[in-house]
């Protein structure tokens, strides 16, 4: 499914099957997740060029390995990081590869992505999928689950019993952030403006509180803002307890966070961003799923040919949880 130009819709197109170059692999794609990052790729906001196959949170079986690739073989069950990193700079060598100083862009933006039967990526990006994890779910583990795991590992030092609020808790990242926060023993307030999503969050039963954001009965040790607009950022700051931390996980356009600096001093508050996850954290997220400690929350599944409808659903903001596109299952031949 190729997007011909920035802002265009994906169209079914016949392309030559890619073959791996040195240090690369090709993967027969089983499934690929769809979230708001995809919309940024479609409009060109993630860089790269067009025409382009989008799709970055994928899973599948290794198809072919290129010259010099010795640690993967055809048939291996895999997912991947969607950051094209150098593997050699200070950040790459210290497990914070998403800060790579020689960053090469994103899978599904700088190079063709996974809304195709075969994808070609650097072998370095692959992460093995344990037998206990369904390949249909593994792609969303690599983004929607690994990203909040990075928050808990690297950006917060949450203690058991702390209140953690998740803003935009009904979205694909939000609902998985609620799930991951629970695994560290936090008490979780799921904040969601959409009434249908609040109902779904209540039914899911992972959060201790489900709020609409108009009222904060608690002060929070941490607020993780998955929406990141001017209103939610201001609201997040007000919800912090003394010593609290705001983590900006999502962002909308060029919205700004404006706060009185004196509040930072008087409350010893911390404001930080968070950026995706390392391959090591993707592997950890897969292990949590394999151990049954977290379950990927899939809102809907679509065949690849229905990708235009998936894009519309993502844009509408109405989808609960993560959307999965079944690439291997082609209902329209
Ligand atoms: Zn690097």
Q: How far is the CA of 211 from the centre of ligand 1 (A)?
A: 40
Mean pLDDT by 10 residues, the chain (333 residues): 96 96 98 91 93 97 98 98 96 94 97 97 97 93 94 92 96 94 95 95 96 92 96 94 96 87 96 96 96 92 95 88 86 43
Contacts 24+ apart (CB under 8 A), 286-289: 286/79, 286/127, 286/128, 286/129, 286/130, 286/133, 286/138, 286/141, 286/142, 287/130, 288/145, 288/149, 288/183, 289/130, 289/132, 289/133, 289/137, 289/141, 289/145
Q: How far is the CA of 183 from the centre of ligand 1 (A)?
A: 30
Q: How far is the CA of 106 from the centre of ligand 1 (A)?
A: 13
- Measure the CA–CA gap between 226 and 40, rounded to whole angstroms: 15
Q: How far is the CA of 105 from the centre of ligand 1 (A)?
A: 12
Q: How far is the CA of 94 from the centre of ligand 1 (A)?
A: 10
CB atoms within 10 A of CB 314: 20
Q: How far is the CA of 19 from the centre of ligand 1 (A)?
A: 25
Instruction: Indicate the SS3 state at residue 216.
Output: coil
DSSP sequence for 232-293: HHHHHHHTEEEEEEEEE----TT------HHHHHHHT-EEEE-----HHHHHHHHHHHHTTS
Phi-psi map region of 178: left, alpha, beta (phi>0 left; psi -120 to 50 alpha): alpha
Contact 249, 121 (CB under 8 A): no
Q: How far is the CA of 136 from the centre of ligand 1 (A)?
A: 30
**Tokens standing for residue 302:** 């679509």
Q: How far is the CA of 104 from the centre of ligand 1 (A)?
A: 9
Instruction: Indicate the SS3 state at residue 80.
Output: strand
- Measure the CA–CA gap between 303 and 325, rounded to whole angstroms: 6
Superfamily name and number for 146-273 = NAD(P)-binding Rossmann-like Domain (3.40.50.720)
DSSP element (H, E) containing 220:
strand 220-225
Q: What is the signed CA dihedral for 327, 330, 332, 333, rounded to 10 degrees?
A: 120
Taking alpha carbons only, the member of 299, 298, 301, 309 closest to residue 1 is 309
Largest CA distance in the chain: 63
Where do the domains of the chain lie? Answer: 2-128+297-326, 146-273
DSSP sequence for 134-147: -HHHHHHIIIIIHH
Q: How far is the CA of 67 from the centre of ligand 1 (A)?
A: 22
- Measure the CA–CA gap between 60 and 78, rounded to whole angstroms: 6
Q: How far is the CA of 14 from the centre of ligand 1 (A)?
A: 34
Position 331 scores a pLDDT of 46
Superfamily name and number for 2-128+297-326 = Medium-chain alcohol dehydrogenases, catalytic domain (3.90.180.10)
Q: How far is the CA of 87 from the centre of ligand 1 (A)?
A: 5
Q: How far is the CA of 89 from the centre of ligand 1 (A)?
A: 4
Taking alpha carbons only, the member of 8, 5, 4, 6 closest to residue 308 is 8
Q: How far is the CA of 294 from the centre of ligand 1 (A)?
A: 30
Position 330 scores a pLDDT of 53
Q: How far is the CA of 24 from the centre of ligand 1 (A)?
A: 17
Q: How far is the CA of 147 from the centre of ligand 1 (A)?
A: 19
């Amino acid at each position: 499914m190729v997007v011909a130009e920035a802002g265009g819709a994906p169209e079914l197109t016949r392309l030559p099957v890619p073959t791996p170059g040195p240090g690369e692999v090709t993967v027969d794609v089983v499934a690929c997740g769809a979230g708001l990052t995809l919309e940024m790729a479609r409009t060109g906001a993630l860089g790269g060029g067009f025409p382009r196959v989008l799709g970055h949170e994928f899973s599948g079986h290794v198809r072919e390995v290129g010259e010099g690739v010795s640690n993967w073989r055809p048939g291996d069950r895999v997912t991947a990081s969607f950051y094209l990193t150098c593997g050699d700079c200070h950040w790459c060598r210290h497990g914070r590869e998403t800060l790579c100083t020689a960053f090469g862009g994103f899978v599904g933006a700088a190079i063709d992505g996974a809304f195709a039967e075969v994808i070609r990526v650097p072998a370095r990006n692959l992460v093995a999928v344990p037998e206990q994890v369904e390949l249909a779910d593994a792609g969303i583990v690599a983004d929607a689950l690994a990203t909040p795991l990075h928050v808990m590992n690297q950006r917060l030092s949450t203690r058991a019993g702390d209140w953690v609020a998740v803003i935009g808790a009904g979205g694909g990242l939000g609902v998985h952030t609620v799930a991951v926060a629970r695994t560290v023993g936090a008490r979780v307030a799921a904040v969601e403006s959409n009434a249908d999503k609040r109902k779904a969050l209540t039914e899911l039963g992972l959060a201790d509180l489900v709020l609409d954001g108009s009222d904060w009965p608690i002060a929070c040790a941490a607020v993780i803002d998955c929406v990141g607009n001017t209103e939610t950022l201001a609201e997040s700051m007000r919800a912090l307890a003394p010593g609290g931390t705001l983590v900006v996980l999502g962002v909308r356009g060029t919205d700004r966070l404006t706060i009185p600096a004196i509040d930072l001093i008087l409350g010893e508050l911390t404001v930080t961003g968070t950026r995706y996850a390392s391959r090591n954290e993707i592997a950890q997220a897969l292990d949590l799923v394999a151990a049954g400690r977290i379950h990927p929350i899939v809102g809907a599944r679509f065949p690849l040919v229905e990708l235009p409808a998936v894009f519309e659903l993502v844009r509408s903001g109405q989808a609960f949880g993560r959307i999965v596109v079944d690439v291997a299952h082609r209902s329209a031949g």
